[in-house]
Chains A and B, each alone.
Chain A
Amino acid sequence: EDKVVQSPLSLVVHEGDTVTLNCSYEVTNFRSLLWYKQEKKAPTFLFMLTSSGIEKKSGRLSSILDKKELFSILNITATQTGDSAVYLCAVEAGGSEKLVFGKGTKLTVNP
């Protein structure tokens, strides 16, 4: 059965800290890995990763995929209170147009 595991499940930091969120997966016919940010509404898309070792970057957020070790990390530098959210990792498996999600990491950034 396809599985996505995120760690930690929750994290509390102070503004300005750097955080690393982890996502490991076991799926058949891996196609892509996606990161979403979920506040109290729709998950919003952050990154889609398909190739190992290529960092994707958007402002203070970056992510990288390791297809050999089957994991991805999401880094957030100089965190702000607005980064407080649940960060979801999902994997798309080939031959199945559905996403398998992890339980998410709840990030709280305190001022």
Chain B
Amino acid sequence: NAGVMQNPRHLVRRRGQEARLRCSPMKGHSHVYWYRQLPEEGLKFMVYLQKENIIDESGMPKERFSAEFPKEGPSILRIQQVVRGDSAAYFCASSPTGSGGYTFGSGTRLTVV
């Protein structure tokens, strides 16, 4: 059981570029969540997805951010035209049922230069 796999572990982007963060949930988990962690802050919920559906995106910034969880393949968090303020650790979690049992990945640390 490989756990929740996120890649890349570290990502450096210049201002204005696009960042794509990938998350493969644990085997048997069909619920995926993305969280963002700024320095000295707790994790902040961004979006909750099931296969091919966005269930709750109340934590996503209105512009430049999007997420998907296609029928095949990993969940993708996409940030267009990155700015310095997007620099953070982005964590993905998965669960089998959508309640409890969350397992987190090791995160992607995005640095915008």
Contact = CB atoms under 8 A, between A and B. Distances in A.
A100 interface: yes
Contacts of A99: 33, 35, 43, 45, 102
B102 A88 contact: no
B17 to A, nearest CB: 25
Contacts of A6: 42
B29 to A, nearest CB: 13
Classify chain B's interface size: 20 to 34
A102 B37 CA distance: 11
Contacts of B103: 45
B107 interface: yes
A101 B41 CA distance: 9
Given A41-B106, A97-B31, A97-B56, A92 B100 contact: yes
B100 A48 contact: yes
Contact of A98 (B56, B91, B104): B56
A101 B42 contact: yes
Nearest to A100: B45
A98 B48 contact: yes
B43 A97 contact: no
A32 B97 CA distance: 14
Given A97-B56, A101-B42, A103-B42, A42 B100 contact: no
Contacts of B99: 31-32, 92, 97
A97 B98 contact: yes
B42 A102 contact: yes
A96 interface: yes
8 contacts: A6-B42, A34-B100, A42-B105, A92-B100, A97-B98, A97-B99, A98-B45, A101-B44
Interface of A: 4, 6, 31-32, 34, 36, 41-45, 48, 88, 90, 92, 96-104
Interface of B: 4, 31, 33, 35, 40-45, 48, 55-56, 58-59, 91, 98-100, 102-107
